[in-house]
Amino acid sequence: MMNERRDVTRATHARLWLTTIALAMACGRGDAPAAAGRGVTTPPPKATSTFDTTSPSGALGASVRRGHALLAATRDSLPSHVGSSLRCFSCHLDEGHRPGGLSLVGAYTRYPQYRLRRGRVDLIEDRVNDCFIRSLNGHAIAADGNDMRDIVTYLWWLARGVAVGDSVKSQNVPALAADTARGALIFAASCARCHGASGQGAGVVPPVWGAKSYNIGAGLARYRMAALFVLHNMPFDNPNTLTPQQALDVARYIDTRPRPDLAGKESDWPTGDRPSDVPYPTHAGPAVGADTARTYAHNGAH
Ligand code: HEC
Ligand code: HEC
């Protein structure tokens, strides 16, 4: 019963979203170059929400709903903490519910967690701030403030029924070599109509490279992780249609375009076990696979 209702809501959500995208694309056509910088806006969460209206009443429910709103309209809500055109749900699809779409279901139960990237035990608040700093190319929010309180409460809400410490099924893409020349062709054929020929995004569609994208230290800046996301979720209106080879090629292409830098990235993976698709050298070990990316200087404006 619950599931059926959710499927229907999800289908409606997808349709609404695509209509919004179609409209945005149609409107953008006339003045695409001028719109590139200012045209990318965070969509209003209400029009497309699949949000579960059975959330608790009272102050707890209000906190869940506010956390949800912050993840849906991150940049508009917390402008001084977001240095990109992305919102949390740009990557954590279907409001954090989509399996294979960087689902946030159960994330709350997996922290505290020892993480290799920083070589320390992270709380859920640290993990949220990692995405603010890297994926949103922004700044950490106060770990003990009301915004964090509401975000963590939404993550708690997404973990209903998940046992503490349940791990996600780990997935990977085949170990194929990626080719950026092929990737450029795939991007032009399957992605540019929404993300723009220069990856700049348009209307409700977020950028995939450039000054308003995720920075070089983000999980998606690792092309194998990006490939897995693309394989199962893109093109947005026709997912699961690329081959693993195509997903790797196009992800590698995107991740070798310019994007914001991240100060201090050399200290990542301090114990030296850096994955091969990390696009920058670290102090603890030589580059494995030597994948490189160009970066924009981080100008400290955000
Ligand atoms: C550019 C894409 C992107 C954006 C935007 C983004 N994230 Fe993430 N997020 C990721 C990736 C990639 C991971 C790592 C997934 C993995 O390790 O398998 C992640 C992981 C997480 C996790 C840990 C999940 C787990 O199960 O351990 C949390 C919590 C999280 N993000 C919250 C947020 C929040 C809150 C925001 C907005 C402030 C946000 N993310 C924005 C890409 C993104
Ligand atoms: C029909 C339009 C459409 C097409 C075509 C499309 N995307 Fe997307 N893409 C989206 C939207 C919309 C989102 C954000 C979803 C949200 O905010 O709910 C997104 C998100 C993304 C993200 C994560 C957020 C970001 O911008 O970094 C990546 C990476 C991405 N797409 C890559 C691709 C690639 C690669 C292709 C081609 C294989 C592609 N997309 C084709 C609409 C599209």
Tens digits of per-residue pLDDT, 209-235? Answer: 999 999 999 999 999 999 999 999 999
Decide whether any atom of ligand 2 lies within 6 Å of the 218 Cβ: no
> Which residue's CA is minimally distant from atom 36 of ligand 2?
191
Top mean-pLDDT range of 17-21, 22-26, 160-164, 243-247: 243-247
Q: What is the pTM of this model?
A: 0.86
180-296: which CATH number, 1.10.760.10, 1.10.1060.10, 1.20.1050.40, 3.40.50.620?
Answer: 1.10.760.10
> What is the rounded CA–CA span in Å between residue 72 and residue 93?
10
CA distances from 1 to 5, 12, 42, 64, 157 (A): 6, 17, 32, 23, 20
Strand blocks (E) in 232-292: 259-260
Decide whether any atom of ligand 1 lies within 6 Å of the 132 Cβ: yes
Q: Which ligand is nearest to the CA of 257?
A: 2
**Domains of the chain, residue spans:** 39-45+52-169, 180-296
Ligand 2 centre to CA of 146 (Å) is 31
Ligand 2 centre to CA of 58 (Å) is 36
pLDDT tens, residue by residue, 90-138: 999 999 999 999 999 999 999 999 999 999 999 999 999 999 999 999 9
> What is the rounded CA–CA span in Å between residue 299 and residue 137?
11
Question: DSSP states of 177-192 as a string?
Answer: PP-HHHHHHHHHHHTH
> Which residue's CA is minimally distant from atom 14 of ligand 2?
90
Domain 39-45+52-169 identical in fold to domain 180-296: yes
The CATH class of the 39-45+52-169 domain is mainly alpha
